[in-house]
Amino acid sequence: MKTGTQLFILFISLSFAGMILYLMKKNKLREEFSLIWFVLAILIITCAVFAKEIVVFFEFLNPDSAGEILLFVIIISQFIFILLFSVKLSSIKNQNKTFSQEIALLRNRLELIEKNEKK
């Protein structure tokens, strides 16, 4: 990987990490998600800084350049993020179902109490 490309990727990754810290400070990003994004930023920084060493380490993939490995790392991490977000979405869906059922039961009780008070 050329030095200019490494510096560009390093700049983007550090900007990304800074944006994550800013969003955490403003309470716009929850800690559980910020940790995942921060790990991704660190992986990208590592790929940018140690490009030649990573190519040697991932030689079994037969990469032509460190850019291919960086793309591989990003794609795998995105699959992990999608899986984690799917799990979180499923749990939220179950919570919404439970809350809706509880609200319906409470509304029914309230209506019964109001009917009893009118009699």
* Mean pLDDT, the chain, whole residue set: 84
Count of domains for the chain:
1
So what's the pLDDT on residue 95?
A: 94
Question: What is the domain range of residue 74?
Answer: 3-118
Question: Residue 2: what are its φ and ψ, rounded to 5°?
Answer: -70, 155
Q: What is the mean pLDDT of residues 9-30?
A: 85
- Token representation of residue 28: 């716009």
Chain CA centroid to CA 1, Å:
27
User: Can you tell me the distance from the alpha carbon of 43 to that of 46, in angstroms, rounded to the nearest whole number?
Assistant: 5
Res. 109: pLDDT tops 80: yes
Residue 98 has pLDDT above 70, yes or no: yes
Ranges 41-55, 75-89, 91-105, most confident: 91-105
Within 10 angstroms of residue 10's Cβ, the number of other Cβ atoms is 15
Residue 1 has a pLDDT of: 64
How confident is the model at residue 8, as a pLDDT?
A: 86
Identify the pLDDT of residue 86: 87
